[in-house]
Chains A and B, each alone.
Chain A
Amino acid sequence: MHYKKRPLKHLFILPALFAICTAKAHSEQDDLLNLSVEDLLNVEVISVAKKAKSLNDSPAAIYVISHEDIKRVGATSIPEALRLAPGLNVARIDSNKWAVSARGFNGRFANKLLVLIDGRNTYTRTFAGVYWENQDIMLEDIDRIEVIRGPGATLWGANAVNGVINIITKHSADTQGGLLAAGGGTEEQGFGSFRYGTHVNTDTTARAYIKGFKRDESTLRSGGEAGDDWDKVQGGFRLDSQISESDSLTIQGDAYRSILNQQTTQAQLSSPFGSIFNESIDSFGGNLLARQQHTFSSTSDYSLQVFYDFYERDETFLKESRQVLDIDFQHRFSFLDWNDVVWGAGYRYNHDQFRFSETMVLSPPSRNDQLFSAFIQDEITLLDNKLWLTLGSKVEYNDYSGFEVQPTARLMWALHNKHRLWTAVSRAVRTPSRTEQDMRLLELVRPGPAPFNYTAIFLDDSDEFSSEELISYELGYRTTAIDNVSVDFTAFYNEYNQLRSVETAAPVVKGSHLEVIQSFANNNRLQTYGVEIATVWQMLDWWRWDANYSLLKMEFDGQKIPGEIGLGPQQQVSVRSALSLQNNINFDVFFRFVDRNRTTGSLVIREAKHYVSLDIRLAWRPINDIELSLTGQNLLAEHHMENQQEIFIQPTEIDRGMYGKFVWQF
């Protein structure tokens, strides 16, 4: 056998194989229809992967990351799994912090993306974003992740401005038996997880899991260890019960405790006016969710969901604790033969408590706020099986910005069995956060200018800071016209108004020092536009390629973009090759290119250069229930930077790493 033939020879084979594979398919189908029933029941059936053939019917820029994709690429966290979607900028700030956004505006405190885990909103009102280090589940239990770029405000509410990420775990009936996973390596120093699922009675299934890991520190751009190693332990459960013919109930919960290390830089009002120190942050939290689904008929059902979520973290400049109680009701029904209506109502209660420091003060230190919302959406069938118009709007009232209305209109045209065309116009709103309205932050202290001792720059709270607004126009096209290839194309044009701006007042003399007060206002306007393309090519039954591309352009009325808006990566490319050899060997190669970016919301320019990255995973299944794998991550450079945090953290680079993993299912 000649394994080491030059790769170029393989390239000539590929188009030939492409032609052979498509030609074979046509003759088979005609033969089939001439077979008798007896023969048909004797035919050897193969289940071919569907991804290169399926067309989504949703009038939105949706991409579904499957359970299999997450495993094959060797992702060890939710943000890493999100790298597989087009149009998402997933940047690792350091070992325990991530910045994730869609269509621009990325930073640790990114505020334009809504993230749900099994219907539980992971958004924190503190900075209107997500603490990614707190959001974790057993990745083996994920069924799929739906990534929707663009405003999802009508269905999911405010803050789903640039996108919605919906993480859905498997029904407990699909995770029966035991699963033990363990491994370790250079960056993923050690990890283990165990899950067991069982039948409680004929109508009820449940599972429980426990997991833990320790992750190594990264490298500072200036050289040296970044002091950002961390560890975490988390456990949880899920119970699903068919309590009657028309009712199902799901109860699930998680609890975690994590020790996060970081090297923090902080301004201070006495010489030397800044300090760098290592700290260990104690972070813990938990949640409990219950959801009931009731079916009236095949065309009418409702769901009622309640969840409670709490977390607490203790950092030098901030100690915060937050509790959320959320109640959500949704009813779907068909009306007059050509309408499919969904309507709902929700209530959320937030309670927080902050302890302040010299650097950060929140007033009031504790706040209870409420959110009331209602929405309605109608999918109107204009032409049976061909053309649908969706109209909807969400209305909410919150304690920060009052009433908000977020309407949307979407059109989906199934012009042909292999083509889909859709377009949408939406308005979405990003409501203010606690820190924008209530925080006073000591950002920076500089010595002088003479005769003053120092100049202190503060970011002051702004009660008048109100919601940011987006009007978004989208157009999308999907096709499976070429055999074994699927293409999904989206173009968008976004107009942002009332975007957060930073207003700097003139220095004020305060005795022996100067004070500069900056404050947030809503004086920026911005236009962004771009495209996102996702393609899948099932080259051979055992070799699949995925390629994604996204383009993002930002326009500030023809002028230079202000620093606080940041700059999203103009282009991102990812290519994945997935080889499935001999039924028990998987070999995946995942390559990415990300353009340079500037962190949003930073008061000084924090830029990360463009970079390329390569992850490789080799997995072997020696017997059916055991899988061994070796994964290399960030292989192209010893360390590289993806994003700089807005404040407090020095520029940090992500290290190259490798880990081995063992999974046993029983």
Chain B
Amino acid sequence: MQAIETLEIRGMCRDFGTTAALQNFSLDIRGGTFVTLLGPSGCGKSTALNCLAGLLELTDGEIILNGKPIQDTPPEKRGFGMVFQNYALFPHLNVISNVSYGLDNKPMPRSERDLRVRWALDLVHLDMDEFGRRFPGQLSGGQQQRLAIARTIVLEPSLLLLDEPLSNLDAKLRGEMRIEIKRLHKELALTTVYVTHDQSEAMSLSDVVVVMRKGQIEQVGTPQDIYNCPRSLYVADFMGYANRIPVTLVGPEGNEWLVETETGHRLHGISTFDGSADWKPGERLLACSKPEDMQVEAPGTANRLSGSVHLVEFVGQAYESVVRLDDNDNLQLLVQSQNTLTQESPVSFGIRPGRLLLFPYEAPSGKRSGQRLSAVSTAVSA
């Protein structure tokens, strides 16, 4: 199969009826990279994958593979491979027949076909002698997943598409299969596009992460980029910046911005937001940070806030507490500490320098961070 040097996606659009599921999706993929499309359900990531595969026709736009447009090539002629969320194994064919299904579409001697089947099953660590004659219904979830991957990579596709392949597995197996996928990508140097709603999967697997929102690309970057420098509140939210403090801009100070909370505390923040050059003093902003960047044990007196402990949860590497800020009962933040805190006791915590990100103010939607907090409360009360 012709290897990918460049895969350019230009203004890819897909409508379903009157709703635009995918709008102006443009992305350059270099051969051998692992690209992840990340976003919540309904953000268009699966639509984008299906358009790439050829299973959905484009409403507009182009897909250019090594300089040749392929958007009108039917899926069976593109030479791409796809692993489906529910694996889509053929239930009436045994493991060997499932793997050789794609090979049967190409003329090749039987001996070579058998060799390739064995190679693919070896690659995913599925013992052909033990499982070869079994049917998909007789395999465990993890084995079905391995079979689904083997069936696809046996064809040595130029592009491997994975549609939330781990979402049907339990937590332990998901971790194992994640490593397997990473290993396969390294061994075969397969250009891969991976769809997921799980940010930790995206972080650990990808070379490039594409965060999507409502059918459009919100941000493209390396995992480190996306994680440390989210360029919008939406991406920050998705990356676990669960704490949001409404603030007013006082003005720039060195490389940072000085902001003031509703209770008059002054904090230093930075901005990764594109439009921050236009900000003027008095502007309403949201200061966001991750719980792990709000530490009780943080040294110094700058960038500190105080409140009272509401709930405490042990999260493994630390304790995470819901803290209600002094003089502002409505504002709850997740704060980490190395030692457990007493409920209802006063606490002061520092925000790590450079880890308080500023974004234009948006009214709380009560979605993600709210969910997180209520999840903590239920966990504690239960």
A and B from one complex: no
Chain A positions near chain B (C-beta within 8 angstroms): none
